[in-house]
C-alpha cells in the first residue's frame, strides 16, 4: 500500500511541476510579455516627461523630479556616462530601434534612459533595502508558500481519503483470504473505491458459492459412502468365515483392507472438512505435552525402533489436546510408512515456541516437493502404491491444526537420512 501512496504523491508532484512549467512557457514564452511591454511604455513616458521638464525648467529641476520619483517608488537613481555603460546596454543604444529607442530594460527589468543630448544615461533599479521592496518580496514568496502548502495539504488529504477507503476493502480481502467466506467490502458511497468494492463482493460471492457447494458435495458423498463401505466390509468378514480356498481368503482379506483404507480416507476427509470451516474453534486446555508423546511407542510398526526424547518434566501447553494428538499421530503414521528401521521423536523449547520433531531413516523427500507436501491429496510418490501412500490428507490436516493454533509445520532433511517434520506451537506462559 505504501508504494501506491508514494507513487500517487510523486505523480501529483510531477503534475504540479509540469503545470507550472507549462504556465511559464505558454504565458511568458509563447505569448507576448505584456508586463514587460507595459513597463517599456511607462519608461518611455517617464523619459518624455523628464525631457519636457528639462526643456521648460532646466536639467537640475528635471533631475530633482526624477530623484523624487525614484524615492517614492523605492528605486535608486544612478547617472552613468557612455563609457561606463554595461556592454549589453551600450549595444542596445548603439543599434537603431523604431520603438522606444532611448529607453531600455535589462534582464533584471531595470530601466536605462538617454538624456536629450545623449551625453548621460539614467539608471533606475530597485532599492532592495527599502521596507516597501522587502514587503513585496515577502508577499511574493508567501504566495509560493501558500501554493506549495495547498499542494501538500491536498495531496495528503487525497492520500488519506483513498487510504481510508482502501483499508476497508483490504480488511475485507484479508478476512476472505483467511477463510471467512461471508466477508464483504462496504458498498456505501462514502466507502467505495470506484466500482472496486462491488466487483470484489461479486467475485467473493461467486467464490463462496463455489466453495460452499464443493464442501457440501464432498461432505455428502463422504457421509453417503460410509454405508455401502460398511456393508461391503461386513459381507467380506462374513465370507471370511466361510469355507473358502486359500486364494479366495487372500482376496477377501484384500477387500477388507481396501474398505478399511477407504473408511480411513473418508474419516480424514470429514475431519479435514470440519477443520476447514472458519467457524471451527479449538477447544483449548492446559495439558502436559508428555501425555501426548507417551502413546508414541504404541503406534510403531513391527520391527521399527522408536526413540522418544522429551523434556524431563514435560511442558504444559494450552491447546486442543485432541487436535495436537491427531497431528502427532499423523506425523508418526507418515514416518511409519517410509521409515526403514527407526523413528526419532524429540521436543525443543524456545522462548516463544515449543516444537515436536519427528524424523525417520527412510529415503526422505526431494526438496522440490517441500512447498506442496502439505497440500491436500498431494503425493511426492507419483506411483502412490498402496503400501506407502495414505489418504493424501494426513499432512494437510497437520498443517491446518498447526494454523488453528497460530503455529506452523515444516519439512526438511533428517540427520537419520530420511524426512524431518517440525511441528511448532506458540509457547503460552
pLDDT tens track for 6-18: 777 777 788 878 8
How high is the pLDDT of residue 383? 44
* Residue 311: pLDDT band with limits 50, 70, 90: low
Residue spans of the domains in the chain: they are 32-127, 196-276, 285-426
390 close to 330: Cβ distance less than 8 angstroms: no
Distances (CA, A) of 351 to 420, 426, 427: 22, 9, 7
For residue 271, pLDDT beyond 80: no
Neighbours of 213 (CB within 10 A): 10
* Residue 262: pLDDT band with limits 50, 70, 90: confident
CA distance 17 to 29: 17
CA distance 253 to 266: 20
282 vs 359 pLDDT, higher one: 359
CA distance 144 to 150: 10
How high is the pLDDT of residue 302? 60
For residue 314, pLDDT beyond 70: no
- β-strand partners of 120: 81
How high is the pLDDT of residue 421? 92
* Residue 279: pLDDT band with limits 50, 70, 90: low
Q: How are beta strands 342-349 and 305-309 bridged, if at all? A: parallel
How high is the pLDDT of residue 384? 44
Least confident of 38-42, 252-256, 270-274, 401-405: 270-274
Q: What is the CATH code of the structural domain delimited by 285-426? A: 3.30.565.10
259 close to 236: Cβ distance less than 8 angstroms: yes
SS3 for 32? Answer: coil
Return the DSSP state at 229. H
Fold classified for 196-276: Helix Hairpins (1.10.287)
Amino acid at each position: 500500500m505504501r508504494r501506491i501512496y508514494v507513487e500517487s504523491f510523486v505523480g501529483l508532484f510531477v503534475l504540479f511541476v509540469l503545470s507550472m512549467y507549462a504556465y511559464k512557457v505558454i504565458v511568458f514564452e509563447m505569448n507576448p510579455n505584456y508586463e514587460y511591454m507595459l513597463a517599456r511604455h511607462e519608461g518611455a513616458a517617464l523619459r518624455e516627461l523628464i525631457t519636457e521638464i528639462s526643456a521648460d525648467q532646466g536639467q537640475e529641476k528635471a533631475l530633482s523630479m526624477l530623484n523624487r520619483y525614484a524615492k517614492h517608488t523605492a528605486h535608486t537613481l544612478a547617472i552613468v556616462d557612455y563609457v561606463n555603460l554595461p556592454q549589453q546596454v551600450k549595444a542596445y543604444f548603439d543599434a537603431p530601434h523604431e520603438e522606444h529607442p532611448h529607453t531600455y530594460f535589462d534582464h533584471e527589468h531595470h530601466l536605462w534612459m538617454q538624456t536629450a543630448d545623449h551625453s548621460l544615461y539614467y539608471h533606475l533599479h530597485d532599492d532592495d533595502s527599502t521596507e516597501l521592496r522587502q514587503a513585496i518580496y515577502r508577499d511574493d514568496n508567501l504566495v509560493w508558500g501558500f501554493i506549495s502548502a495547498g499542494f501538500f495539504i491536498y495531496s495528503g488529504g487525497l492520500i488519506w481519503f483513498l487510504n481510508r477507503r482502501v483499508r476497508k476493502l483490504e480488511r475485507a480481502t484479508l478476512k476472505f483470504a483467511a477463510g471467512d467466506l461471508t466477508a464483504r467490502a462496504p458498498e456505501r458511497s462514502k466507502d467505495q473505491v470506484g466500482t472496486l468494492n462491488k466487483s470484489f463482493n461479486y467475485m467473493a460471492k461467486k467464490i463462496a458459492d463455489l466453495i460452499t457447494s464443493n464442501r457440501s458435495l464432498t461432505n455428502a458423498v463422504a457421509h453417503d459412502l460410509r454405508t455401502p463401505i460398511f456393508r461391503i466390509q461386513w459381507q467380506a468378514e462374513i465370507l471370511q468365515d466361510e469355507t473358502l480356498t486359500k486364494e479366495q481368503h487372500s482376496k477377501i482379506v484384500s477387500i477388507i483392507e481396501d474398505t478399511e483404507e477407504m473408511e480411513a480416507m473418508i474419516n480424514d476427509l470429514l475431519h479435514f472438512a470440519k477443520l476447514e470451516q472458519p467457524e471451527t474453534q479449538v477447544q483449548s486446555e492446559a495439558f502436559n505435552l508428555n501425555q501426548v508423546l507417551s502413546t508414541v511407542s504404541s503406534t510403531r510398526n513391527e520391527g521399527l525402533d522408536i526413540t522418544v526424547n522429551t523434556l524431563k518434566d514435560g511442558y504444559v501447553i494450552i491447546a486442543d489436546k485432541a487436535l495436537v494428538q491427531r497431528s502427532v499421530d499423523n506425523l508418526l503414521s507418515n514416518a511409519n510408512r517410509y521409515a526403514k528401521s527407526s523413528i526419532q521423536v524429540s521436543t525443543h523449547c524456545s522462548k516463544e515456541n515449543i516444537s515436536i520433531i519427528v524424523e525417520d531413516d527412510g529415503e526422505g523427500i526431494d526438496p522440490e516437493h517441500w512447498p506442496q507436501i502439505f497440500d491436500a491429496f498431494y503425493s511426492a510418490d507419483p506411483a502412490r502404491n498402496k503400501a506407502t501412500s495414505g489418504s493424501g490428507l494426513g499432512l494437510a490436516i497437520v498443517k491446518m491444526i498447526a494454523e488453528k493454533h497460530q503455529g506452523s509445520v515444516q519439512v526438511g532433511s533428517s540427520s537419520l537420512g530420511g524426512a524431518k517434520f517440525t511441528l511448532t506451537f506458540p509457547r503460552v506462559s
